[in-house]
Structure 1
Amino acid sequence: MVFLKFTNDHNVGQIISLLFLLFFAQSWWIWADSEITDLWYNCLHDNTTDSWLCAATTESDWLQSVQALMVLSVVFSSVSLLVFLGQLFTLTRGSLFYFTALCQAFAGFTDFAACLIFAFHRKEILSASRDLSRGRFGYCFVLAWLCVPLLLVTGVLYIHLRKKQ
């Protein structure tokens, strides 16, 4: 049976779940209570039918960069979990989880880059014709920033994690 000094594989699963939420949820930018924008869609709330009407976002190079970096963040974090599980059963006693830590750190850096690009180039991403003072960052953007230190801290924890028997 394999025992570890401490384990954080359940934390990685929670971070992956959070990244998937950020990836698909529709609240990166809120124009008003009835209009929201995410990485993929602009949505308006129709009060008569009480439903959201969504259209694809206007493509820009900055938006595509944020989309690609968020996809990479989810991929690196998922690979990190799979590599951890593989290394858990294949590493020799006393070995460290360096490759897992590297994947987790890359996930953190790509998430960080995506957040920075969205923050500094939101005018080009959202639409140059709209007044940004009428909107605010949504909860997904805030959670994306929260994922950055979580991913980096778990990456550091994996560096110090030793396999024990």
Structure 2
Amino acid sequence: MRQILAGVLILHLIILILLLVSTAVNAWTVGANSTDLWYACRTNNGGYHCMPTSSEDWIQAVQALMILSVLFCFFSLVAFIYQLFNLVKDGRFFFTAIFQILASLFVMCGAIIYTVMSPQPNPDDTFGYAYVLAWVSFPLCLISGLIYIILRKRE
């Protein structure tokens, strides 16, 4: 049982790290112009010039959803550790599961909005690794939430 709990905890920490990296790193779109949720950077005469992203509603929605996914994943981790020590025998981790599933839905919605609304003016620009990490963290977060629903506390 301890190996299962350790595995679930490690999976949860990996998901939290993936969400943090995908939210903070400047690699949602790469090419001549690198953009993320916070800055748009361009190569200019051999230099690198960054400015804040536009204040359009869609990018602010993606920013908010990614921050919410990180927060809910963190709160889910705190709830798991709390329930691990205070949950009755044969109790299920429903509270933790709800937070984790909400985190997965937030990251999915944020990635979908970014996919649909992001401008692709340069044909050489592609989606970067932070964008891919967001999509990878979505199913992992959802699977983790489902594991928490199934998981029971044993003595």
Q: TM-score, normalised by structure 1?
A: 0.86
Q: Could you tell me which residue of structure 2 aligns to residue 153 of structure 1?
A: 143
CA contact (8 A) 1:37 1:43 kept: yes
Unpaired runs of at least 5, structure 2: none
How many residues get paired?
153
Contact 1:28 1:141 in 2 (8 A): yes
The verdict on how the C-alpha distance between 1:118 and 1:132 changes in structure 2, with shifts beyond 3 A counting, is farther
Deviation at 1:9, TM superposition (A): 1.2
1:162 to 135, 138, 152: 152
Contact 1:43 1:53 in 2 (8 A): yes
Q: Which residue of 1 aligns with 2:94?
A: 98
More relative contact order, 1 or 2 (CA 8 Å, 6+ apart): 1
Task: Provide the residue aligned with 1:20 in structure 2.
Answer: 20
Equivalent AA in structure 2 for residue 143 of structure 1: L
CA distance in 2, matches of 1:21, 1:89: 29
Q: Does 1:62 align with 2:52?
A: no
CA offset at residue 154 of structure 1? 0.2
1:61-80 → structure 2 map (5 Å cutoff): 61-80=57-76
What is the one-letter code of the residue matched to 2:34?
I
Q: Confirm or deny that 1:85 pairs with 2:81.
A: yes
Percent identity of equivalent pairs: 37
Amino acid at match of 1:159: I
User: Please, what is the CA RMSD of the aligned residues?
Assistant: 1.7
TM-score, normalised on structure 2? 0.92
CA contact (8 A) 1:6 1:161 kept: no
